[in-house]
Amino acid sequence: MGDLGDYNHREIEEKWSRFWIERNLYHVEKPDARSRFSVVIPPPNVTGSLHMGHALNATLQDIVVRWWRMRGRKVVWVPGFDHAGIATQYVVEKQLQDQGKTRFDLGREEFIKKVWEWVPRSREAIRTQFEKIGVSVDWKRERFTLDEGFSRAVRKAFRELYEAGLIYRGEYIVNWCPKDRTALSDLEVEHEEETGKLWYIRYPLEDGSGYITVATTRPETMLGDTAVAVHPEDERYRHLIGKRVRLPLVNWKRKTIRGEEVGPLIPIIADERVKTEFGTGAVKVTPAHDPNDFEIGRDHNLPFVKVMDERAVMNENAGEFAGLDRYEARRRIVERLKEMGLLEKEEDHVHAVGKCYRCKTVVEPVVSVQWFVKVTDPRIRDTSIKVVEEGLVQREEREVHLQIAEVSGLTVTVPVVDDVSGTTRAVLVLAEGVEFLAGTREGDLAYIYHLEGRDDLLDEAKRFADIFLGRGGFDFLVGLEGEISVVRQGVESRIDRGRYVVVAEGDRVVLYSREETPRPLQVIERGKARLEPAHKSIKMRVERRKEVREEKKRVLFIPEHWKRFYLDWMYNLKDWCISRQIWWGHRIPVWYCEDCGAENVFTDDDFDRPYDKIIFNLIADGKIGNDFTPEEVEKVIKAPNFVHPEMTVLDFYKRFAFHKYHSTDMDANSLRLFLTQEANPMAMLTPGVSTRGLYRYDPKTKRWRMVLRCKKCGSENLKQEEDVLDTWFSSALWPFGAFGWPEKAEDLKNLYPTDLLVPGFDIIFFWVARLIMMGTYFMKDIPFRDVYVHALVRDEKGQKMSKTKGNVIDPLNIIDKYGADALRFTLAILTVQGRDIKLSEKRFEGYKHFANKIWNAARYILMNTPEDFLSKIPYMAPMRSEDKWILTRLNETADEVNRSLEVYDFSRAARAIYEFFWTDLCDWYIEMTKERIYRKAETEEEKEKADAERTTALYTLHYVLEKALRILHPFMPFITEEIWRRLPSADGESISLKEFPEKAQEEVFPEEARRVERLREIVSTVRSLRSDLQIEPSRRLKAYFRTEDEETKSVVNEFRTHILNLARLETFDEVDSRPEGTVATFSGDLEIFLSVEGEVDLGKLREIYMRRRRKVLSDLERVNRKLSNENFLKKAPEEVVEKERRIKEELEEDLRRIDRILSIIEG
């Protein structure tokens, strides 16, 4: 069928990436809540580009997502981006800095404009990279945390929390970055060990009776001291408690944050938080600049004196030091104290210094007014703990149907969808010959088929049907006295999560129900089921009843240990500071009344007409100013949307935010009319038009204005909060915000909760925890079921990749050099739980070789496939053992991959498919087919036979390749798509929409598989000897064999041709004894004699067998030691003892053979 040519990853990947996107292959318009699999991508920051961590993250999700899609789920994977407040602002500020400007030079509005100019470029770059990696996301559902819908959701969320008393504004000590000039949350501060100094400073007692010495690492803060604290039990200082000291240097009046004046005389107080062992045991207290001191200050009612401004420059409270940078002030203060003799000593001191995670500036703890989410409230924290610890119980009332069919004979066999019931979830085999099927679909029907005369089983069947319906269906088969009993990891864990416990008892597995009387069941093969009634005359009746269903909604961390990690943090939770003094982000939707001081939270809920809502949102988003013209509004609303440029902003609103207002159009004219009516008092006379005084026209400027009024006093004198929200506040809404919340959107109903979240462990607190908090609070439901937490990507030395270290491996570069398939496969196979991934470029190279191998295997198959191949298939010869063997291996591989992916064991899955492709398929099977593929026939009769056999080999090759490609597809989507599309058997648009292979019992042939394994041993033995004798492969040798074992003999006879080809032999005949001039070896009970012409290095040969002998002897010794141990014989299980005995026999047999060979060599 023609030659594939060489593997060119660039061409292939580019082609299919485009194809998938252009065809919208991964868009599902209306996913059914039951069959869906929904995932939201952790939105990457719109700063810079993707790094290897993103590549890993995207790859792992895509593997799972493609796998589920192929398994029949309607997969929706939502992509998107995070506006990343501080990070993005930092990048743009840096660009300004290069021009010698700061954001303050530009002003808020201009600055934000700059960011909006820059963001799309970055977003495009990231999007392209995602496409290159091959992510099968639904681009039509793409979102941005700062898009119109999200901004609205953020305001809504803020309002709900505010009104529930879960958001408050308060004075608190926060981490302040003097460079970015904003507050940071605790999580945004990185601690680094540094060697600093510890200064011991004497504070003279007021009464002149001496002094008390305090130690500090930040002497500059002493200017803000308002007390000295000691431990109440500390004997050294007890007598000083209540006295006062004179703060050195400070001979000026200081003002507290409330405006009161404070003098230099400060009290010595007692507080249990003071550690007697540290420093001198006396501590200076600076409530406005230290977290601990803040608490002490609050509890003791101390004055708060701030001595620095927002740039960490000393302020007017610093008297003579005012205007100095904090470090300069520190130097001078130390100097002055030294002069005054008040510096007792200074010593080196290692301590952790908090730094801004973004710009690495040392943060300054400072008291300020900030907004907080009260995450410590039980409504948030307790629920968030509960859904992880035990699960949230949800009650749902529904109608349940049981459909009972009576048939006179039926069989239960394979494939997946049964035409009667839709998706088949489970088949219960209650007793031999009497089965029923519990399938579920819309309306919850369980179909119970039973044989006439076996009504005794009906009750049992109903009971199980209820269980299956209650759980939304299982997807494995269960049988009572079933024939097979295979336990699988995936099944086990799946059951364990629900209400079943699996216990292995002896040679069978027992499934215990937790709620009901334990009832033993066997778990048998997972598979697909179809009911095939023998007779069409089925008597049916339907029973229906109301049922209250309780479902446990639980968030499951994988690997499990992250659960502990998460919970520990939740137990020690602190309120979350959400205000940031930056400009890029969601401005807090609070308007302060300048007259009465009230805080007003506005959202578009305050208005009920679409126009009002849209105008309000545009203003709140800063898209238009408070004053506007209808033309300006039209311009904004008709402009291409940022996230979906194919839509206008108005379209975007309709699609993602205002579902109810589909028909609303909005242009300057209609707006003008609307506003005029609104403002015209005459309109009051027009029926149906209301005027609320919401808009006002200024004839001078010809601009309109939306009038917001204080909800308390009615004043129009409102001013919006300047601060914006922490980025994580909006991304915490991601899994429901992206689906249209707060609207009751279709997507929200169908896709929430999501099925899986894949974050890196570094954002468990930042993001995962907050997702759980906000998700459970707003949705009363978990945001996701499984959280697969992956490791970090490091360089080959195990160091974090960073630009400054210059050890980054750029995914784009790797994709270019080795291909996205190689990149993905490498990341997948290196992803083992609980370990960081160490990467070096060589790894990618290695797995590119794998891609190449696959390519060439396909090339071999296709180049030997005749054009009329399909028409020949009906005339093909029966399958041979090796065909059945490769089918067996194929199915075992499918099974292994499925089981591994069920538990997110990416590495294991990838290794299984690698091993199969390379070793089984390429190294052995393809080699074995060459005999049939290349056979030349002489006579007509032979030719026909050869043709039929060739067709069989080709058929098997095609069959196996096609299925193997499907197994491989989630890992290597591009190459598999390319090859698959070239196969004559390809039917369909894309391999990614085909079914993922499951183990099919009818394609498993244990007998043939065993025989081929034996063949492989024999071939390897001959090859090994050849290699030992250094006989080049081109020399065909005569060889002979001898065995007593009929089984072995038949293997040799069946596969003689293969042995000749694979071991490069001329003949392989049976003999009674070793022929002259031959060298012997053996494989189990098969003795092999190789006819070697010319010199043989007997010394070397002897050495080889001596080494083998030593190995056998040491093994024998181990076995003998065991077998001579009475306790072993007494206590070990019979089969283990048996096994050891067998090993002993084998080893002794081997030893005899080796000795015989050695005696020949020596004799």
Partner RNA sequence: AGGCGGGUAGCUCAGUCGGGAGAGCGCAGCCCUUACAAGGCUGAGGUCACGGGUUCGAGUCCCGUCCCGCCUACCA
Q: Nearest approach, Cβ of 906 to RNA (angstroms)?
A: 11
Q: Nearest approach, Cβ of 893 to RNA (angstroms)?
A: 13
Residue with smaller CB distance to RNA, 305 or 620? 305
Per the CB < 8 A criterion, the answer to whether 1081 and 1090 are in contact is: yes
Q: Nearest approach, Cβ of 431 to RNA (angstroms)?
A: 28
Q: Nearest approach, Cβ of 96 to RNA (angstroms)?
A: 30
Q: Nearest approach, Cβ of 803 to RNA (angstroms)?
A: 17
State the CB neighbour count (10 A cutoff) for residue 517: 6
Q: Which of 525, 513, 520 is nearest to 488 (CA)?
A: 525
Residue with smaller CB distance to RNA, 718 or 975? 975
Peptide bond into 378 cis (omega under 30): no
Q: Which residues neighbour 221 within 8 Å (Cβ) at sequence distance 6 or greater?
A: 284, 286, 289, 290, 307
Q: Nearest approach, Cβ of 1107 to RNA (angstroms)?
A: 6
Residue 947 phi/psi, 5-degree rounding, is -65, -45
Q: Nearest approach, Cβ of 349 to RNA (angstroms)?
A: 7
3-state SS class at 21 = helix
Residue with smaller CB distance to RNA, 121 or 1036? 1036
Residue with smaller CB distance to RNA, 456 or 1138? 1138
Question: Tokens in use for 479?
Answer: 């049988």
Q: Nearest approach, Cβ of 1063 to RNA (angstroms)?
A: 8
Q: Which residues neighbour 673 within 8 Å (Cβ) at sequence distance 6 or greater?
A: none
**Sheet holding 227-230: strands in order across?**
244-246, 265-270, 227-230, 282-285
Per the CB < 8 A criterion, the answer to whether 367 and 294 are in contact is: yes
C-alpha–C-alpha distance, residues 95 and 92, integer Å: 5
Residue with smaller CB distance to RNA, 648 or 907? 907
Distances (CA, A) of 948 to 205, 869, 879: 108, 11, 10
Q: Nearest approach, Cβ of 1080 to RNA (angstroms)?
A: 16
- Helix or strand run (H / E) with residue 69: helix 52-70
Q: Nearest approach, Cβ of 1139 to RNA (angstroms)?
A: 6
Residue with smaller CB distance to RNA, 537 or 1030? 1030
C-alpha–C-alpha distance, residues 329 and 250, integer Å: 13
Residue with smaller CB distance to RNA, 243 or 471? 243
C-alpha–C-alpha distance, residues 889 and 556, integer Å: 33
Q: Nearest approach, Cβ of 595 to RNA (angstroms)?
A: 40
Diameter of the chain by CA atoms? 126
What is the Cα 256 distance to its own chain's centre? 49
Q: Nearest approach, Cβ of 230 to RNA (angstroms)?
A: 9
Residue with smaller CB distance to RNA, 36 or 244? 244
C-alpha–C-alpha distance, residues 436 and 429, integer Å: 6
Q: Which residues neighbour 934 within 8 Å (Cβ) at sequence distance 6 or greater?
A: none
- Helix or strand run (H / E) with residue 77: strand 74-78
- Helix or strand run (H / E) with residue 14: helix 9-22
Residue with smaller CB distance to RNA, 299 or 698? 299
Alpha helices in 601-754 (DSSP H): 610-620, 630-638, 649-652, 668-679, 727-731, 734-737, 746-751
Residue with smaller CB distance to RNA, 466 or 892? 892
As separate numbers, helices (DSSP H) first and strands (DSSP E) second, the chain gives 35, 46
Distances (CA, A) of 1000 to 435, 493, 526, 887, 961: 20, 22, 9, 10, 16
Residue with smaller CB distance to RNA, 741 or 855? 855
Residue with smaller CB distance to RNA, 350 or 682? 350
Residue with smaller CB distance to RNA, 279 or 970? 279
Per the CB < 8 A criterion, the answer to whether 503 and 509 are in contact is: yes
Q: Nearest approach, Cβ of 75 to RNA (angstroms)?
A: 28
